[in-house]
Amino acid sequence: MKIRPFKVEIWMNEHENEGLYNLTESCVSPLKMGELLDLLNIKEKYLDTFLDMKLDYGDINGSDELKKQICQLYDTVEPCNIAIAQGAINANEMAIMELIEPNDEIITFTPGYQQISSLAESLGANIIELKLYEDKGWQMDFDELERVITEKTKAICVTLPNNPTGTMLSGEQAVQLVELAEKYDLYLFVDEVYRGLCVDDFCYQGSFYGLYDKAIITSGLSKAYGLPALRLGWIIGPKDFIDRIINRRDYHIISIPKMNDLLAVEVLKQKEKVLSRNYDICMKNRAFLKEWIKEEKHITNTFTSGTTQLIRYDMKIPSEELSLRVQKEEGIFFVPGSCFDCEYHLRLGGGIDPIIFQKGLKTFSKWLRQFDDI
């Protein structure tokens, strides 16, 4: 099985630790362990349980309490609709490997997260990749989407909110997408790992699982919750599909660590505290970004409802070259738009520590002054 290099992850692995200002991270700024336990007011209780924990495999399918807490994130999910994974990326992997067979067609969107399309392609699927249009708010064209559906099409695959553009759908658009999938009896595969931090009231804030009986949802605690170290994710889907995933999972991960399960339960029990803290970070950064964009003549942005943004610059410098230069000269780390097949753009994370976010963008502005007279 051959697979294309994962451009954004390779770039992150090679360059992420070299800068002073990481302005491209798509997770909300993670808490330290002590900060999280203090926020949830469980330090003594958690540490006592943790120290008394036997380091065996634990609940292979995830604890009953973990699945109970995940159910409460959705309107119509039962424990039998949940498969636990090691992060959303592992959830995506297992779901795609169970869903896709050779010669299937799937529809994906660009700019987007490469994992779904490249993994499905490696399994022998034909990938139909449609554009998200910057001049239309990085939205899909529904007429174009319907035109490319054929008798071989098996699934429409989307990430909502999108990475890297932050695109989200309105309630009307969400219904339109579901109706289209239902019309052609397609699976609707939705990565919802960024769900929970949309900043516009018009967006559809619910899960697509409750809208359509052939929806398959992946999510986790890495992005909106800002807890990537827990490597805790899940798949939501019809019971027969989840049963197959659970059978498959023994070949992938067996189980998640018991301590991760334990802490995830505590986080989900008090999710409002974590999400409120993270929402405040994102809104503070968004307010600063809007003012910064007004003053920075080399940068424009089509603001979307998610936390990540794909900002455009006006210099005719390839994005990889620009990213390397600004990192070497000023210590600012960006993922170049070329990693998403979208030149003259940079991915900007909206959940970064506001102090780093503001200092980094101010430093970037000073660096950009060299291009004023070009």
Residue 356: is its pLDDT beyond 90? yes
Half-sphere exposure of 263 (CA within 13 A, CB side): 24
What is the mean pLDDT of the segment spanning 178-195? 97
pLDDT > 90 fraction of the chain, expressed in percent and rounded: 95
Cis peptide before 161 (omega within 30 of 0): yes
Q: How confident is the model at residue 199 (pLDDT cuts 50, 70, 90)?
A: confident
Half-sphere exposure of 356 (CA within 13 A, CB side): 20
**Distance from the Cα of residue 204 to its chain's centroid:** 16
In terms of DSSP H, where are the helices of the chain?
Answer: 7-15, 33-40, 43-51, 64-71, 87-99, 115-122, 142-148, 171-183, 239-249, 258-269, 271-295, 319-330, 354-368
Phi, psi (5° rounding) for residue 22? -85, 100
Q: Do domains 7-33+272-368 and 54-270 have the same CATH topology?
A: no
pLDDT digits (tens, 9 = 90+) for 281-305: 999 999 999 999 999 999 999 999 9
Distance (Å, whole) CA 161 – CA 167? 5
Residue 64 identity (one-letter amino acid)? D
Q: How confident is the model at residue 18 (pLDDT cuts 50, 70, 90)?
A: confident
pLDDT > 70 fraction of the chain, expressed in percent and rounded: 100
The confidence score (pLDDT) of residue 237 equals 98
What does 14-53 look like in DSSP terms, one character per residue?
HHGGG-SEE----SPPPPPHHHHHHHHT-HHHHHHHHHT-
Residue 201: is its pLDDT beyond 80? no
C-beta neighbour count of 308 within 10 angstroms: 24
Residue 16: is its pLDDT beyond 90? no
Is residue 132 a contact partner of residue 306, using CB atoms and an 8 Å limit? no
Q: Which two tokens stand for residue 26?
A: 């798509």
pTM, 2 dp: 0.96
DSSP state of 196: T
Distance (Å, whole) CA 275 – CA 22? 22
Question: Rg (Cα) of the chain, in Å, rounded?
Answer: 21
Q: Which two tokens stand for residue 100?
A: 């896709």
Residue 206 CB-density burial (10 A; 0-12 exposed, 13-18 middle, 19+ buried): middle
The confidence score (pLDDT) of residue 65 equals 98
The confidence score (pLDDT) of residue 196 equals 86
What does 86-97 look like in DSSP terms, one character per residue?
SHHHHHHHHHHH
For the chain, give the mean pLDDT. 96
pLDDT digits (tens, 9 = 90+) for 86-138: 999 999 999 999 999 999 999 999 999 999 999 999 999 999 999 999 999 99
Residue 198: is its pLDDT beyond 90? no
Q: Is 113 helix (H, G, I), strand (E, B) or coil?
A: coil
Could you state, in order of their start, the residue ranges of all structural domains in the chain? 7-33+272-368, 54-270
**Taking the domain 54-270, which CATH number applies?**
3.40.640.10
Strands 309-313 and 345-348: antiparallel
CATH class given for the domain over 7-33+272-368: alpha beta
The confidence score (pLDDT) of residue 200 equals 81
The confidence score (pLDDT) of residue 19 equals 84
Residue 232: is its pLDDT beyond 90? yes
The confidence score (pLDDT) of residue 285 equals 97
Element (H, E) at 300: strand 299-300
**Distance from the Cα of residue 121 to its chain's centroid:** 20
Residue 374: is its pLDDT beyond 80? no
The confidence score (pLDDT) of residue 284 equals 97
What is the mean pLDDT of the segment spanning 54-63? 94
**Distance from the Cα of residue 173 to its chain's centroid:** 20
pLDDT digits (tens, 9 = 90+) for 140-186: 999 999 999 999 999 999 999 999 999 999 999 999 999 999 999 99
pLDDT digits (tens, 9 = 90+) for 29-53: 999 999 999 999 999 999 999 999 9
First to last CA, the chain: 47
Q: Residue 299 to residues 94, 289, 291, 315, 365: CA-CA distances in angstroms?
A: 39, 11, 12, 9, 9
